[in-house]
């Protein structure tokens, strides 16, 4: 799933070299954090959150483990 998120995020942004995907352990669920260049955050979130919502929907549909996957978008330091 991490490779899929990286592929999608790099395809959407203007600064693909700044994309960083990390797995975050949370109780009862898998979580991924997408680190982006500040100028690219709006491109991944999309108008009204539609793009990130679609990404979340796709990964949860493709998840065969049955647990819920979550995705956060953060600004790289």
CA dihedral over 45, 51, 53, 59, signed as positive or negative: negative
What pLDDT was estimated at residue 52? 94
User: How many domains, the chain?
Assistant: 1
Residues 6+ apart with CB under 8 A from 22: 32, 33, 35
Q: Mind listing the pLDDT tens digit for each residue in 12-70?
A: 999 999 999 999 876 777 889 999 999 999 999 999 999 999 999 998 888 877 777 88
Range of the domain at 14: 2-75
CATH of residue 26:
3.30.300.20
3 state DSSP class of 11 = helix
Query: For the whole model, what pTM was predicted?
Result: 0.85
């Amino acid at each position: 799933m991490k490779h899929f998120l990286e592929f999608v995020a790099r395809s959407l942004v203007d600064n693909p070299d700044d994309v960083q995907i990390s797995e975050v352990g949370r109780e009862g669920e898998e979580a991924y954090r997408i680190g982006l260049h500040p100028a690219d955050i709006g491109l991944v979130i999309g108008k009204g959150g539609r793009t990130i919502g679609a990404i979340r929907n796709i990964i949860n549909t493709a998840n065969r483990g049955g647990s819920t996957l979550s995705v956060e978008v953060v600004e790289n330091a």
